């Protein structure tokens, strides 16, 4: 059954929400590699929601929804910002971007999760990881 946690746009609140999700993941026997991947991707998604989506505006919330079962984890992160176009992000692994300090979050989500999808507005991301 899906569970939703709503947090303010604060990084320590995100950490607590993330820990709640990870505690549930741990109950289902996900491999260490999968747990690492989920933690990484969810942290990126939450950080993006707070920093870029909500711009640390404490009037805006972030919703973390997770539906965990033995065979897959579905995590959705939603912010209250204006959204963005994930289809036109610069490639952080290109030579000209390699030494930029930012811009790797979405790439890492895509690398570590089996499915990553955004809503049309771009203020919600859905991450799926299969337990293999």
Partner 1 sequence: MQQELPRLNISSEGGVTIVELTDRKILDELSISQIGERLQGLVAKEKDPKFILDFSSVAHMSSSALGMLITLHKRVREKNGQLRLSGIQPPIYEVFAITRLNEIFQICQSKEEALTTLS
Site of interaction with partner 1 (CB under 8 A): 11-12, 14-15, 32-33, 36, 39-40, 43-44, 47, 92-93, 98-102, 104-105, 107-108, 111
Contacts of 122 (CB under 8 A, 6+ apart): 83, 84, 85, 86
Residue 56 near residue 50, CB atoms below 8 Å: yes
Q: Give me the least distance between CB of 68 and partner 1, in Å please.
A: 19
Six token digits for residue 6: 């709503």
| Cα 66 from Cα 111, distance rounded (Å) | 20
Residue nearer to partner 1 on the CB measure, 81 or 105: 105
Backbone angles phi, psi at 37, to 5 degrees: -60, -45
Residue nearer to partner 1 on the CB measure, 2 or 100: 100
Q: Give me the least distance between CB of 53 and partner 1, in Å please.
A: 15
Say how many Å lie between the first and final Cα of the chain, rounded.
20
Residue nearer to partner 1 on the CB measure, 61 or 104: 104
Q: Give me the least distance between CB of 42 and partner 1, in Å please.
A: 10
Write the DSSP symbol of residue 29.
T
Q: Give me the least distance between CB of 11 and partner 1, in Å please.
A: 5
């Amino acid at each position: 059954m899906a569970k939703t946690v709503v947090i303010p746009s604060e990084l320590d609140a995100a950490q607590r929400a993330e820990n709640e999700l990870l505690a549930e993941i741990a109950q289902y026997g996900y491999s260490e590699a999968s747990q690492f991947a989920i933690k990484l991707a969810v942290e990126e998604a939450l950080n993006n929601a707070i920093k870029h989506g909500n711009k640390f505006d404490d009037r805006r919330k972030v919703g973390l929804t997770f539906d965990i079962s033995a065979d897959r984890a579905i995590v959705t992160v939603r912010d209250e910002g204006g959204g963005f176009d994930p289809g036109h992000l610069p490639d952080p692994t290109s030579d000209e971007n390699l030494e930029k300090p930012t811009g790797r979050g979405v790439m890492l989500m895509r690398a570590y999760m089996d499915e990553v999808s955004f809503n049309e507005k771009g203020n919600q991301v859905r991450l799926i990881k299969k337990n293999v």
